[in-house]
Amino acid sequence: MLQTELFEIDDVESPCVGTCQSGPRGYCSGCLRSREERFYWKDLNQVQKIKVISLCAMRKKKLLSRKAKQQEDELLKEIKQQTQLSFFND
State the DSSP string of 37-53. HHHTGGGS-HHHHHHHH
Of 5-9, 13-17, 53-57, the poorest mean pLDDT is in 5-9
Q: Please give the average per-residue pLDDT across 6-24, as a whole number.
A: 82
Q: What is the DSSP letter of 27?
A: -
Q: Are 26 and 20 in contact (CB under 8 A)?
A: no
Judge whether residue 62 has pLDDT over 80. Answer: yes
What pLDDT does residue 7 have?
Answer: 55
Distance CA 74, CA 80 (A): 10
82 pLDDT band, cuts 50/70/90, is confident
Judge whether residue 22 has pLDDT over 80. Answer: yes
DSSP three-state, residue 28: strand
Q: Please give the average per-residue pLDDT across 65-89, as a whole number.
A: 84
Distance CA 79, CA 14 (A): 43
Q: Please give the average per-residue pLDDT across 38-64, as a whole number.
A: 95
Judge whether residue 31 has pLDDT over 80. Answer: yes
Residues linked to residue 28 through DSSP beta bridges, in sequence order: 22
